[in-house]
């Protein structure tokens, strides 16, 4: 809708508000590319309840430049 409004009416918002469903990296980058300030809660996958490891459980080794998962693999 943003692109269509810009193409049709030569209008683009300076800010955009949306719910968490739009708070993921690709959408936030899309808004940033268009210089639109997002007012969107970021979709946080830190705490997981689906049996997968949350990103906070991974450890980073800067010397090896790699992450190790809590399951023991890199």
pLDDT tens string 2-56? 999 999 999 999 999 999 888 888 999 999 999 999 999 887 666 667 777 887 8
Bridge partners, residue 5, by sequence: none
Q: What is the 3-state secondary structure (H, E, C) of 5-32?
A: HHHHHCCCCCEEECCHHHCCHHHHHHHH
Question: What pTM did the predictor assign?
Answer: 0.57
Q: Tell me which residue of 34, 33, 37, 1 sits closest to 17, measured CA to CA.
A: 37
Any residues with CB less than 8 A from the CB of 27 and at least 6 apart, and which?
A: 38, 40
**Whether the Cβ atoms of residue 28 and residue 9 lie closer than 8 Å to each other:** no
């Amino acid at each position: 809708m943003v692109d269509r409004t810009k193409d049709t009416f030569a209008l683009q918002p300076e800010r955009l508000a949306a719910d968490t469903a739009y708070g993921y990296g690709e959408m936030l980058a899309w808004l940033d590319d268009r210089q639109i300030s997002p007012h969107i809660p970021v979709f946080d996958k830190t705490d997981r309840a689906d049996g997968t490891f949350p990103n906070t459980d991974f450890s980073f080794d800067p010397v090896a430049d790699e992450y190790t998962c809590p399951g023991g693999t890199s």
